[in-house]
A and B are shown apart, each in its own frame.
Chain A
Amino acid sequence: MSSPFQYAPAPESRSIVDIAPSYGLFIDGEFVDGTGEAFKTVNPATEEVLTEVSAGSAADVDRAVAAARRAFTRTWGPMRPADRGKYLFRIARLLQERAREFAVLESLDNGKPIRESRDVDIPLAAAHFFYHAGWADKLDFAGLGPNPRPLGVAGQVIPWNFPMLMLAWKVAPALATGNTVVLKPAETTPLTALLFAEICQQADLPPGVVNIVTGAGDTGRAVVEHGDVDKVAFTGSTEVGKSIARAVAGTRKSLTLELGGKAANIVFDDAPIDQAVEGIVQGIFFNQGHVCCAGSRLLVQENIHDEVIASLQRRIGTLRVGDPLDKNTDIGAINSAEQLARIRELSDYGEAEGANRWQPACDLPDRGYWFPPTVFTDVSPAHRIAREEVFGPVLSVLTFRTPDEAVAKANNSTYGLSAGIWTEKGSRILKIADQLRAGVVWANTFNKFDPTSPFGGYKQSGYGREGGRHGLTGYLKGVTHS
């Protein structure tokens, strides 16, 4: 149905960002040329090349780790905790001041809608710095033991789905606990991390406390395997996570892994249906489904299946897919050609295995990487789309008849990162949440994040927690785990 109310284009201006023709690495407080081969980063919505970025070689990583070690021993480590807190507060405020610049750059490099980078990614990133700034001088009172001490140099590798937010999740707790960092942003989304390097300069952060080394898998491996790194923190695919676990095994390094997921979003027949439908949409189409905790398996009680699917399809019909910089866009571009190919492959499998594919009528731009919001019904737990992480806007719908069956099906996954429960019955929420093997369980909401709340997984979704008091322990030694 075409509406007489057509929203005119409302593009956010990109003139606020100033992208240099090429970028080096950020080591010891300065931008330096990398010795590896430079690579290009593109705008996935248009395939336009945005800029060229240095790839860090093993030698570059070595310099970065040495700078981080120096800073740990000479400045950041010995610094009064309250002063470390001041730097973090300063960074948080600068992030807020330059929020629009970060949001536009994030949408350009990643393809996510400006509404999300503006209202979610960047405000949450700033919130993480504010939150951890507060902890910096209170670690003795965090209930983690009498004398928590930093580990030293943290090597951190982050994904492309929330580039700036994942940076904040990694850098803020590491610095608040007195560690220094060498961070490798994802190959396809390095730009906000490099802008963050400017923030570090602007905040007068001592050289070497934060080092940013761009590059692909080899650079990441060099960071993870470096002998003078005390802590490895990784967010990304389970496959890479496993290889990191192997590489770190037998060393003195401590490790935090935040990997994939195949979350069950469970809708009971006494759920607030309209809000549940919103939650399903938010659960799987937020950030094009490039979310490790995405609610990619909808478990809906069989007696309301048809009603929920009809409402869901009507609602998906109103989603606005297109220009990420348009303020009214709900779904932006898939981050890379590689990811698009994977989404297509798994969706084709879904159809071949007998599930029913449904997509709304929607015009996709001619250039760039795009995939329409997709719902598979008649999915069986044996189908690949019910078991493997698609990491795209693809929802698999399964049904259940009783609460026990819902729990059994929800837990029947090699992952265990997140889950959702939709019911108006409070006692049921508590009971089911207790039975679900997932690190985060949302009740009557989905994909809500807060720096005070620990985030992390069970099973192949990884180990360790980020955020909250729990998240501090991953960067401290001498702590008592409660």
Chain B
Amino acid sequence: MTHVLDPDALPDEARALMAPPPPYDDVTRSDAAFRAFLHGLPGVDQVGAEARVAMLGTRSIKTTAKAWAIDTAISMVDLTTLEGADTPGKVRSLATKAKRPDPGDPTAPQVAAVCIYGDLAGVAVETLAGTGIHVAAVATAFPSGRASRAVKIADVQDAVANGADEIDMVIDRGAFLSGRYLDVFEEIVAVKEACARPGQDPAHLKVILETGELVTLDNVRRASWLAMLAGGDFIKTSTGKISPAATLPVCLVMLEAVRDFRAATGRQIGVKPAGGIRTTKDAMKHLVLVNETAGPDWLTPDWFRLGASSLLNDLLLQRQKLRTGHYSGPDYVTVD
């Protein structure tokens, strides 16, 4: 059908390739339609969002609840190293820690994934074979995303070829901020296609919104919906290279988005705050946020991840404290 009111509507065949799930299957028919849809989402009142997370931050998580939350948080960690100085040795040591975070206590759960640059994915895959721990590779000219689409796609294909089963891509914030929403959308669709793995399920796609560059919560909501409509499996806050990274109000808005998206389409999308989550208390505040916003269905590593590096050691120290009744110290957890 031709959209008479939409002179810039895409031809039918182009749309069919990348149609979002119903009932939103025609919102990407043109730039104008997509813009109207995203700008028609209810606004977010920043003061109200901050008040809500502040209130949830007063939840007092003690004893059995704390023990459950710590183990759950450990199992949700995407243990991350994203440095120019990363080496196979560094990645091997991180992957080894992922398998058995607390060498002194085999009951500590393993983490969800290790998150690394794509060229080192093979090293992680080798170390983690048979553990069920995922290998997540950042791609698409991470962290800035400033490269041609061809380069980004090649980056993804390379990471997938190296064995990564999760791809953490960045959106084109420049395109988003200049209002070229359909460009951002198409790029996510293209990356999703590049995640295909012959004979296997495609690699899981996490879409990094880099909320620290989007700045407003209205933008966070729009970018969340954009990424979900484009087929992202997870929406992720940040690269960790920009400050602020994960904040509670941003995470609240993203959790509301996945909750509403599932209610409308039946499709569940995961959420991954990343960067700046360093303490057990931070992690527990996020779990409370999940529990009371998106709901308990999201309280598993399949649907919620914490992108972090130093967080894991703090979780382990708190876990030891809970088990032994006293605090140990930094020498009782491993340096990687």
Residues of A within 8 A of B (CB): 1-10, 115, 119, 270-275, 278-279, 318, 327-328, 424, 444-445
Contacts and interface: CB of A to CB of B under 8 A. Distances in A.
B48 A444 contact: yes
B42 A274 contact: yes
A10 B288 CA distance: 15
B59 A328 contact: yes
Taking chain B's interface residues, is the majority helix, strand, or loop, or is none over half, making it mixed? helix
A274 B60 contact: no
B65 A279 contact: no
Nearest to B63: A8
A2 B297 CA distance: 10
Contacts of B47: 275, 444-445
A1 B60 contact: no
Nearest to B44: A272
Nearest to A274: B256
Given A2-B296, A7-B65, A272-B43, A119 B291 contact: no
B65 A3 contact: no
B62 interface: yes
Contact of B43 (A2, A270, A327, A445): A270
Contacts of A119: 58
Contacts of A275: 44-45, 47-49, 52
Interface string B65-102: 11011001000000000000000000000000000000
A417 to B, nearest CB: 22
A5 B65 CA distance: 7
A1 B296 contact: yes
Given A278-B51, A445-B48, A7 B43 contact: no
B287 interface: yes
B291 A3 contact: yes
A3 B296 contact: yes
A4 B68 contact: yes
Interface string B34-46: 0000000011110
B48 A279 contact: yes
A279 to B, nearest CB: 7
Contacts, number: 78
A327 B51 CA distance: 17
A8 B64 CA distance: 6
10 contacts: A3-B296, A4-B296, A7-B61, A8-B62, A8-B63, A272-B45, A274-B48, A275-B52, A327-B58, A444-B47
Q: Which 9 A-B pairs have the closest CB atoms?
A: A275-B48, A3-B296, A10-B60, A327-B60, A272-B45, A275-B45, A8-B65, A273-B42, A424-B43
A4 B73 CA distance: 13
Contact of B42 (A10, A272, A318): A272
A7 B292 contact: no
Nearest to B221: A274
B191 to A, nearest CB: 29
Nearest to B292: A318
B299 interface: yes
A9 B62 CA distance: 8
B61 A274 contact: no
Interface in B297-332: 297, 299
Interface string B160-186: 000000000000000000000000000
Contacts of A1: 295-297
Nearest to B41: A273
